[in-house]
Structure 1
Amino acid sequence: MSEQVLHWQRHTSGQRLLRYALWLCAVAAIVQAARTVEVIPEFLYDAPEQMADMLGRMWPVDWGYYADSVHTALLETLHMATLGTLLALVLALPLGVMVAPNVTHSRWLNFSARVLLVASRSVNSLVWALLYVAIFGPGPLAGMLAIALRSVGFVGKLVGEALEQSPRGPIEALQAAGASRFAQLWYGHWPHIKPALWSVALLRWDINVRESGVLGLVGAGGIGVVLNTAIDLFYWNRVALVLLTIFAVVALAEVVVLQIRKRVL
């Protein structure tokens, strides 16, 4: 009797064909994107020289400009990020409750909340800032609202997911005791999602500090206004100061958030 030889294969023929098709689609997309991107060779060859010239103009840094304009704009940026994050938490909590099907037993409310959260995440903060600058005029109010609307989708989505993963035991015990819906949320769900919520809030505040630094480029207040003015007037030594300030603040915010998460959460 002849022995049947078995050959082990990681993927079936259909799976291999699908993988090859995906690779071909990816290569075709890259080739098409490269064809549509207009690269001017003269500018490309001249880029290193222009970069060296710009860096040379940034030195020495105009440190005296910090007290005149940068400090006030920096505080405004931090206020925008903080108030925008707080407003986002206020708006995201009810949406997170509505989007969780194990808490809100209404498909219509689940769908409506999910649409709002997706709409918030799909629009960049700069686009929100442009819209609010057109409505409320230039200033930090537009920047704060842009940060808040951008953050609602992020925070609400994670709150909803945390609620969906809540253990059923405490909720069933509260239901058996005749607890109200609010009591079930407060005593059953809230202790479970509280650490995740504060962690998400700190992370989002850290992200908002970074994003608020550029909202001033479209007139939404903050240190971005100072940066845009310095670029328009070709004050490259002031541009260097603003960039260094943004870098220092972002790094400090990262350290602060990390220490808070280690000691509190």
Structure 2
Amino acid sequence: MDKKMGELEQKLVWESHTKRKAWIVWGFWFAITLLTIYCWVEMNEDTIWFFVYDAPVQAADLIDRMFPPEWLYINKLYKALWDTLNIATLGTLLGVILAFPVAFLAARNTTPSTKFVRPVALFIIASSRSINSLIWALLLVTILGPGILAGIIAIGLRSIGFVAKLLYESIEEINTTSVEAIESTGASRFQTINYAIIPQILPAFLGIMIFRWDINIRESTILGLVGAGGIGLFLSSSMNILAWPQVTLIILVILATVIVSEYLSAKVRRLLI
């Protein structure tokens, strides 16, 4: 009897999938592999491989021309860097001001209507998030002309979706006990929002706002490529005239600005939240 049980145990081998499921899994991965190969061939159909093979030589030549940076050129970048910071800061404030009511209209527990108002608010959020700030800037430069105003509005429009989405999710996750307690006193809808909802979402709101400002610092550095002001305008002009030492300096300034903004935003979030 023990001998038969031992032979039976040797035959029983644990498998994570049945044979049918295993074939389905293998077929799925095989199809993904074929699709990847097909997409690779399609994307590289017009690639000139001679330039690809020569790319290391060209990259080394470009790096050689970029160094050393033209340090004296930094005297012309202070104003542009200040404009970039203003674009990011004012654009963030504009986006936050517009996103705050949109978030309350999008949240299920605060929207006046889940059938009409909420879909409109969600559409605004999706529209803002789906269009890059560079595209917003390109459109606004066409309408308003070149300058930092187009950059500020572009950053603001881009920020609406980000801030409103994270904020309305925070609103939907609030503790309803305090809301019910305020409502039981006969408070109006505005008073309920002011005394029961906003205190709960305020830490999250501050964190989202600072985080978005940090992101906008990075995005505002390239808006000048389409004429929306800031340091990106100098980057574009230096690249157009092949002044590579100037380009190197501008890139270093942008890198330093981003590092400092990340450090400051992390410090502020720890202090406020």
- Whether the TM-score (by the shorter chain) exceeds 0.5 is yes
Percent same amino acid among aligned pairs? 41
Partner residue of 2:103?
96
Q: CA deviation at 1:144?
A: 1.1
Partner residue of 1:37?
43
Is 1:138 the equivalent of 2:146? Answer: yes
Q: What TM-score do the two structures reach when normalised by structure 1? A: 0.93
Consecutive unaligned residues of structure 2, counting only runs of 5 or more, are none
Superimposed CA distance per residue, residues 48-100 of structure 1 (whole angstroms, 9 cap, x where no aligned partner): 11111111111121111111x21111110000000000000001000100000
Partner secondary structure for residue 71 of structure 2: coil
Deviating more after overlay: 85-94 vs 99-108: 99-108
Separation in structure 1 between the aligned mates of residue 234 and residue 266 of structure 2, nearest angstrom: 29
Supply the AA of the counterpart residue of 1:195.
P
Equivalent of residue 181 in structure 1, options 178, 189, 210: 189
Q: CA deviation at 1:16?
A: 4.8
Q: What TM-score do the two structures reach when normalised by structure 2? A: 0.90
Q: CA deviation at 1:10?
A: 3.8
Partner residue of 2:180?
172
The 8 Å contact of residues 203 and 272 in structure 2, kept in 1 or not, is answered as: no
Separation in structure 2 between the aligned mates of residue 256 and residue 137 of structure 1, nearest angstrom: 33
Partner residue of 1:216?
224
Partner secondary structure for residue 77 of structure 2: helix
Stretches of 4+ aligned residues off by more than 6 angstroms: 1-7
Q: How many residues align?
A: 264
Supply the AA of the counterpart residue of 1:28.
L
Change (3 A) 1:17 1:218: farther
Alignment of 1:171-250 (within 5 A): 171-250=179-258
Separation in structure 1 between the aligned mates of residue 135 and residue 208 of structure 2, nearest angstrom: 23
Separation in structure 1 between the aligned mates of residue 145 and residue 65 of structure 2, nearest angstrom: 34
CA RMSD of aligned residues (A): 2.0
Consecutive unaligned residues of structure 1, counting only runs of 5 or more, are none
Equivalent of residue 125 in structure 1, options 118, 126, 133: 133
Separation in structure 2 between the aligned mates of residue 13 and residue 165 of structure 1, nearest angstrom: 44
Change (3 A) 1:17 1:180: farther
The 8 Å contact of residues 206 and 272 in structure 2, kept in 1 or not, is answered as: no
Structure having the higher Rg = 2
Change (3 A) 1:25 1:187: farther
Superimposed CA distance per residue, residues 26-61 of structure 1 (whole angstroms, 9 cap, x where no aligned partner): 323322321122321111111111111111111121
Change (3 A) 1:28 1:187: farther
Separation in structure 2 between the aligned mates of residue 11 and residue 168 of structure 1, nearest angstrom: 44
Change (3 A) 1:101 1:240: same
Deviating more after overlay: 160-169 vs 53-62: 53-62
Superimposed CA distance per residue, residues 116-155 of structure 1 (whole angstroms, 9 cap, x where no aligned partner): 1011101111111111111101111111111111111010
Is 1:66 the equivalent of 2:95? Answer: no
